[in-house]
Amino acid sequence: MKKIEKKVSRIGVLTSGGDAPGMNAAIRAVVRTGIYNELEVHGIMRGYQGLIEDDIMKLESRSVANIIQRGGTILKTARCKEFYDYEGRKKGYENLKKRGIDAMIIIGGDGSFRGAVKFSQEFNIPCIGIAGTIDKDIYGTDFTIGFDTAVNTAVEAIDKIRDTMDAHDRIFVIEVMGRDAGYIALHSGIATGAENILIPERKTDIDALVTGLQETKKRKKLVNLIVVAEGENFGGADEVQRKILKEIPTAEIRVCILGHIQRGGSPSCLDRLIASRMGYHSVECLIEGRYNVFVGIMNNKMHYIPLENAVKTKGKIGDEWLKIVKILAS
């Protein structure tokens, strides 16, 4: 972690990438911790897009009143192709410069952090990263803001689906979010007793899945729950259903895609707590002169790594989890 000599006086905070429940709690913590330490805090609307368009406003303590329980993000979020180019990033820097903003806190995922690393290297702006993503796929932290809420939303929905599944002796294929990471599928699947969990980190053996369903049918076990991450290599829930019906035409299968319901809703207590803690410590990092740092929590302690390390290394699902799935579903 590189040290800087200059003293930070004005902080810009933005949310970028996909929204996640708990982002508002992190914004609140950044603003109030900054003000407590006699720093100005400016909210940058719509992520890097707002940075380029100078859509920036000063935030006061009252600006973040009554938001800790709200999902989404009061600062909004957007994808910004212009920020991929140097000229776009330079526009953003000029907007910070004219306002005297000399540091940024980025709440988002690895794509947001990649942009922050490049921006900081080019213009010597201290940047702090806070993991706000429901996918829980950022290296260097046990928690990401939004994951706990998203997985509990999925569990609640799957529990309700299981009731009707049991009543009708059906196979349900339920698709949850996770384009590149299977943590939501893994955790919600284990928590709801899924017989099969399909994730991007492991190639789906669809033939083995079909064989397993045929064997359970012989044992007169007609209820089967299959939880699929959207980024699973076979093509998601619809393709899984198609393949099963091709091999077992008599199977009664229903597909349910939970979709963006997992992104919304009031954040859980855990998400509010970790967001508040990360937001507080992100400001403390800037006060202490830490540069390009990712703020995480590991073993219930604050954990800091260079921001570029959080970008280069992905969180991984261990073999033990997959063994648990196999044993508990048998």
Indicate the pairing of strand 293-298 with strand 301-306: antiparallel
Contact 281, 293 (CB under 8 A): no
Q: Which is catalytic among the residues 135, 137, 148, 271?
A: 135
Distance CA 181, CA 138 (A): 10
Distance CA 108, CA 51 (A): 15
Distance CA 5, CA 135 (A): 36
Contacts of 48 (CB under 8 A, 6+ apart): 14, 16, 78, 80, 82, 83, 88, 92, 112, 115
- 213 SS3 class: helix
Give the CA distances from residue 251 to residues 192, 193, 220, 254, 280, in Å, rounded to whole numbers and listed in that order: 22, 20, 13, 10, 53
User: What is the enclosing helix (H) or strand (E) of 257?
Assistant: strand 253-257
Contact 299, 306 (CB under 8 A): no
Contact 104, 126 (CB under 8 A): yes
Question: Is 137 designated active site?
Answer: no
8: DSSP letter: P
Active site residues: 135
